[in-house]
Amino acid sequence: MADQSKYIWFNGEVVPWERAQIHVMSHVLHYGSGVFEGIKCYKTSEGPAIFRLPEHINRLFQSAIKYGMEIPYNQDELFEACKNIVEVNEFENCYIRPIAFYGYDTLGVYPKDCPVEVAIASFFWGAYLGDDGVANGVNITISPWKRLSLESFPASAKASGQYLNSLLAVQDARKRGYDEALLLNQQGNVAEGSGQNLFIVKNNTLYTNDESASILLGITRDTIIQVAQDIGYEVCIQDISTDDLFNADEAFFAGSASEVTPIATIDDNPVGAGEPGPVSLELRESYLDIIHGRNERYNHWLSFVHSKEILESAGTE
């Protein structure tokens, strides 16, 4: 359960958590007409830093465009609002959830003159799939629910209503005793987890799929691709069959909340040795170094909540 924090940025103002309210007739409650992002902020030696904030905010706007939603703020305003809500809540490590959605005007499916409202919350959220899962690998199942077709929804949009598909998959997985679900697409190939992209490793080569497999093009996915190539691994982007999956040496999830989480078993079949493999562990450690500011090569991916000038001033007082 996410911890409640003190404040939320809501329609241009920082308000107490309990005052960030919407009407029960808001369009988003009835039709899922919202777009959102999941962003992480981490403690570094230079203060809290938000990982790949510009890319997340840009994707929020691109998702909104796909649903004909005009966000009433520009990207720079939301960029600063994300940093502001971390600062006022006095966080060093936290999860940030910006969301833009259609509010109340009409109950028709067509949003007509529904206002677009925007909120940004920040709160503490631990390991998405649990500390044990991160350390020892998670146990997942292939879901009986298929990923939504590209012909039905824009897979590249991170939209609220689309996640009902994920909700069905993860509910089924948990009821059957698994940590997470893996969805196949309409062609029977691997798509993604309920909220994470998938990588497999075979003979020290990484494989992952792309938008044509009905996946969200995750920002953590992009990070892992770049970092793996920088280390010297070959990364192949192609469809992944279930045969590829069950014959993999290693497999792991990648996502903002999940970070890099190894997969130990799939439907009770061990992946490789049934424990986190060396490539997964190396990439996880590299990722942790980057997000905590311990690898200067990637500091351009960090947006520091406090400016360097403020930090230097505080250090001299």
Residue 316: how many other CB atoms lie within 10 Å:
5
Domain residues for the domain of 286 are: 131-294
Please report, for the domain that includes residue 214, its CATH number.
3.20.10.10
Those residues whose C-beta lies under 8 Å from the C-beta of residue 262, and which sit 6 or more positions away, are: 134, 136, 137, 138, 250, 251, 252, 275, 276, 277, 280, 281, 284
Quote the CA–CA distance of 223 and 218 in Å, as a whole number. 9
User: Do 163 and 279 belong together in one domain?
Assistant: yes
Is the same domain home to 25 and 119? yes
For 56, half-sphere exposure in the C-beta direction (CA atoms, 13 angstrom radius) is 27
- Supply the pLDDT for residue 1: 42
Q: Residue 20 maps to which CATH number?
A: 3.30.470.10
Query: What is d(CA 38, CA 224) in angstroms, rounded to the nearest whole number?
Result: 17
pLDDT averaged over 10-residue windows placed end to end, the chain, 317 residues: 81 96 97 97 97 98 97 98 97 96 95 97 79 82 96 94 97 97 97 97 98 96 98 98 97 95 97 96 97 97 77 39
Is 158 part of the annotated catalytic residue set? yes
Q: Are residues 155 and 268 in the same domain?
A: yes
Nearest in space to 162 (alpha carbons), one of 146, 181, 145, 148: 148
Catalytic residue among 6, 158, 175, 308: 158
Domain contains 310: no
Taking the C-alpha atoms of residue 256 and residue 50, their distance in angstroms, rounded to an integer, is: 11
Would 215 be classed as within a structural domain? yes
Token pair recorded at residue 288: 């942790």
Q: Is the pTM of this model over 0.75?
A: yes
Instruction: Report the distance separating Cα 101 and Cα 22, nearest Å.
Output: 10
Beta carbons of 245 and 190 less than 8 angstroms apart: yes
